[in-house]
Amino acid sequence: MSAVIGVIGLVAGVFQNINTAESWMPTQHPKNTKARVYAGMSDSTDQSTSGNIPGVALWDAAGRFIGKEMGVYNYVIGDGKFHDIEVKGKMASADYLSVSAFGTDGLCVAAVAVTSPTGYKAGWLGDIGMRCGAPWYPSALVIPGSDPETRPACVWIDQDGSNNHPHTGLTMHLPSFTGEGLANEYNDDIATLCKSLPRFSMWKTRSVHMTLPVYHADKLEYNEDGSDKNIDAILKPSMMQSETTAPNDPTGTKLGVADGPSALEPGPVVELGPSRRRARRQAPQPLRDQLVISNITRHSAREVCESQTSAGPDFVSIVEWLYCDMAEKVLWPLCLEDSTEACFDLDTRSITWQTKPGLRSRKEDLSPKSYRNVQKWI
């Protein structure tokens, strides 16, 4: 019988402990720790849609270094796929983890699952990063055992910034992402999740060789439900630097500074088309020649469009009958047979405008787009 492992994620916009089947986590190795990284999407510069494999470094609860494994430039994780990164090192439970981008392909990380040689298993879902203000995109990934409509968002990392993603990596404290008590704590005060450096951070200058900030484990106290007894110890944590990843590596001795999550504010409300008013310009859109058409109930074009931090291809929600132009963050209705206003035509894949309502149906292209790649998510 397969064990059940709780992982905190968003269900109907609220953090909950999701009971997942352990089948989505790597199998236990007698000596090594395995980290499985799931790609929600990636923006390879070549024809395939895929992202380079990231590097991973691990520490135990006391900040002692377990091991690290470099990423891979010339091997990629395809959309919705995963890759197991095997880290040789100490026989210990990995409580802290860093994930660092490698190569020029951005990678949208939808989930991370770690199995230690001790048998300790833990997971992290991209919903955490999205709520903490990281650039994000929906993913079609289903976590086994969870409600099929619970699809985690993914968050972008990129080593060289060539795809306009600002972060090179993320760090996390794995025990912080399980249990109803902590899920409720994050719902009550998002700062306890996003503003506590060791718990979760996105970084603009992270490499696999860097240390990370860890809690003084003896300063943390928990309630019976797993939530934090002393919120101050979380918001103003007593921290130390983890053990170096390489004694002779100068970058390995630096305590990283938080240059990550900042945009905790919800995005601006964008008017529904046919208004041509434009949202404030974002960074150039990654994957602008791609279109995602989703028929997944969990996905919302409105949510994607109204978020200041979403980034990725133009997005259609069949369920909402809406289209988001991601370059301008403008929401349009999809066309119906008798549409008289500007709308996005799923057949021509462009915004059309019936110039003389009531007269002959002459449709004129407002913003011609040509999509090199159209993905359907069902």
Ligand X SMILES: *[C@@H]1O[C@H](CO)[C@@H](O)[C@H](O)[C@H]1NC(C)=O
- Give, as ranges, the residues between 349 and 378 that touch ligand X (CB under 6 A): 378
Minimum CB separation of residue 337 from ligand X in Å reads: 15
Nearer Cβ to ligand X (212/318): 318
Minimum CB separation of residue 378 from ligand X in Å reads: 6
Nearer Cβ to ligand X (99/318): 318
Nearer Cβ to ligand X (77/318): 318
Nearer Cβ to ligand X (90/151): 151
48 touching ligand X, by CB under 6 A: no
Q: Which residue is nearest to ligand X (CB)?
A: 295
Q: How far is CA 55 from CA 52, 98, 186, in A?
A: 10, 8, 28
Angle at 218 between CA 212 and CA 220, to 5 degrees: 80
143 touching ligand X, by CB under 6 A: no
Distance, CA of 375 to CA of 316 (rounded, Å) = 10
Taking the alpha carbons at both ends of the chain, their separation in whole angstroms is 29
Are 211 and 241 in contact by the 8 Å Cβ rule? The answer is yes
Mark residue 329 as left, alpha or beta (left: phi above 0; alpha: psi -120 to 50; beta: remaining). left
45 touching ligand X, by CB under 6 A: no
Which residues are within 8 A (CB) of 82 and not within 5 positions of it... i.e. 6 or more apart? 36, 37, 38, 39, 111
Dihedrals φ, ψ of 129, to 5°? -65, -40
Contact mark string toward ligand X, 310..339, x via CB under 6 A: --------x---------------------
Nearer Cβ to ligand X (60/320): 320
Nearer Cβ to ligand X (242/294): 294
Nearer Cβ to ligand X (204/349): 349
What is the amino acid identity at position 268?
P
Minimum CB separation of residue 346 from ligand X in Å reads: 8
Nearer Cβ to ligand X (230/295): 295
157 touching ligand X, by CB under 6 A: no
Nearer Cβ to ligand X (223/295): 295
Q: Of 26, 230, 203, 187, nearest to 116 (Cα)?
A: 26
101 touching ligand X, by CB under 6 A: no
Minimum CB separation of residue 319 from ligand X in Å reads: 7
Which member of 19, 275, 295, 348 binds ligand X (CB under 6 A)?
A: 295
Q: Buried b / exposed e across 159-174, counting CB within 10 Å, b at 16+?
A: beeebbbbbbbbbbbb
Pairing verdict, β 290-294 and 314-317: parallel
Are 82 and 51 in contact by the 8 Å Cβ rule? The answer is no
Nearer Cβ to ligand X (336/378): 378
Q: How far is CA 353 from CA 112, 224, 321, 325, in A?
A: 44, 59, 17, 16
Minimum CB separation of residue 317 from ligand X in Å reads: 10
For ligand X (CB under 6 A), the number of binding residues is 3
Applying CB under 6 A, the residues found at the interface with ligand X are 295, 318, 378
